[in-house]
Amino acid sequence: MYTYDVSTGDEAVLTKQFTFTVTLVDPCDPPTSVQVVALTDQVYTITDTNVAPYLHPDFVISPAYCPLAYTYDLGAISSVSVPSAVTRVDKTFSFSYSQDLQPLGNT
């Protein structure tokens, strides 16, 4: 809030005071829109060692200068404790499972 005294001369009678408030609005909280781009369906065999990684495209945010953070849930592929078959660095996912070729889960 700002308060100003405006005067047209030296006499106090010619002075008027006014106040105004400045409100700063963050256009990124929330952003106007976040558009999910189409993801490409792909099929992988997790024991295949010659699988190319998958890089998903950027989502489109408006305004474009707003920051966008991605979070991922890489759920377990089974209920047994084995290393994950899916790894991620930034937006690039890799698929590999080379522990053994036994069936996963309850048998």
Longest CA pairwise span in the chain (Å): 95
Rounded distance, CA 3 to CA 45, Å? 69
pLDDT digits 0-9 by tens, 85-100: 778 888 888 877 766 6
pLDDT digits 0-9 by tens, 23-70: 999 999 999 999 988 888 888 776 777 778 889 899 999 999 999 988
Buried b (16+ CB within 10 A) or exposed e, 18-54: eeeeeeeeeeeeebeeeeeeeeeeeebeeeeeeeeeb
pLDDT band for position 74 (cuts 50, 70, 90)? confident
Q: Is 95 helix (H, G, I), strand (E, B) or coil?
A: strand
The reported pLDDT for the residue numbered 33 is: 94
pTM of the model: 0.54
